[in-house]
């Protein structure tokens, strides 16, 4: 069973409004992500401190963060604690350009430990496949006061997937954009309105 957990517990401080609900072509960012993930995943979960605001999403299970602490790793902990599968797909809720092919590629490359994309010099800690067995190490890391996701995955070890590994897929590196700021949103909207608009699901 291929389960996908979309982590949507952030406050969007830099963005100035809830970026997961930001409209792209009349469709909320997170809805576009759900749509793409559904192409390859059997079940979709959205993890958040406020699940009610995502009640409009169809065929999605909403999971409330276990702890109130405002930290992306809390969402990951909640997801790993919730699943009964041996591994899960984990996505940050602010990546509306993701493609299902990228999700499938990670899943198929999985070899027993965390696997993440490294694109443009950045490690995408919340675009990856995480094994259930990571839960214990994450719990210990959080109890010790750890807060940084990158420090955690470096400590436990992970397999990187780089740009050269996925060149054959023909997908632009812009598919990895995290929509953290309004400038990021501007780039995404320009892509939607431009020649690549067909990639963004007019059928939504």
Q: Which domain holds residue 80?
A: 3-197
pLDDT, residue 189, reads 87
Instruction: Evaluate whether residue 22 is within a structural domain.
Output: yes
Q: CA-CA distance, 44 to 77, in Å (whole number)?
A: 16
Residue 203 within a domain? no
User: CA 8 to CA 92: how far, in whole Å?
Assistant: 7
pLDDT of residue 195: 47
Residue 12 pLDDT greater than 80, yes or no = no
Least confident of 62-76, 123-137, 181-195: 181-195
- Whether 91 and 129 have beta carbons less than 8 Å apart is answered as no
Band (13; pLDDT cuts 50, 70, 90):
low
134: CATH? 3.90.550.10
User: Structure tokens of 102?
Assistant: 């990228």
Q: Is residue 204 part of a domain?
A: no
- pLDDT above 90 covers a percentage of the chain that reads 74
CA-wise closest residue to 126 among 139, 137, 116, 141: 116
Residue 118: band (very low, low, confident or very high) from pLDDT cuts 50, 70, 90: very high
Asked if residue 202 is part of any domain, the answer here is no
* Whether residue 133 has pLDDT greater than 60: yes
Question: Residue 76 falls within a domain, yes or no?
Answer: yes
Label residue 141 by pLDDT band (50, 70, 90): very high
The dihedrals phi and psi of 29, each to the nearest 5 degrees, come to: -50, -50
Question: How many separate domains does the chain show?
Answer: 1
Q: What is the pLDDT of residues 28-67, one digit of tens each?
A: 999 999 999 999 999 999 999 999 999 999 999 999 999 8
pLDDT at 180: 85
In a domain, 113, yes or no: yes
């Amino acid at each position: 069973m291929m389960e996908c957990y979309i982590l949507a517990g952030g406050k969007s401080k830099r963005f100035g409004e809830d970026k997961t609900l930001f409209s792209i072509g009349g469709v909320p960012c997170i809805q576009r992500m759900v749509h793409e993930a559904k192409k390859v995943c059997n079940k979709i979960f959205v993890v958040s401190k406020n699940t009610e605001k995502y009640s409009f999403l169809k065929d999605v299970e909403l999971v409330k963060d276990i702890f109130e602490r405002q930290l992306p790793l809390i969402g990951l902990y909640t997801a790993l604690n919730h699943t009964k599968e041996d591994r899960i797909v984990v996505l940050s809720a602010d990546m509306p350009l993701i493609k299902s092919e990228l999700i499938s590629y990670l899943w198929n490359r999985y070899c027993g430990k965390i696997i993440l994309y490294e694109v443009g010099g950045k490690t995408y800690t919340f675009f990856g496949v995480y094994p259930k067995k990571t839960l214990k190490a994450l719990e210990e890391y959080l109890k010790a006061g750890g807060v940084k996701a990158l420090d955690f995955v470096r400590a436990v070890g992970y397999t990187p997937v780089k740009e050269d590994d996925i060149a054959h897929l023909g997908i632009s590196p812009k598919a990895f954009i995290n929509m953290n700021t309004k400038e990021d949103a501007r780039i995404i909207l320009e892509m939607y309105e431009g020649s690549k608009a067909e990639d963004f699901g007019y059928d939504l």
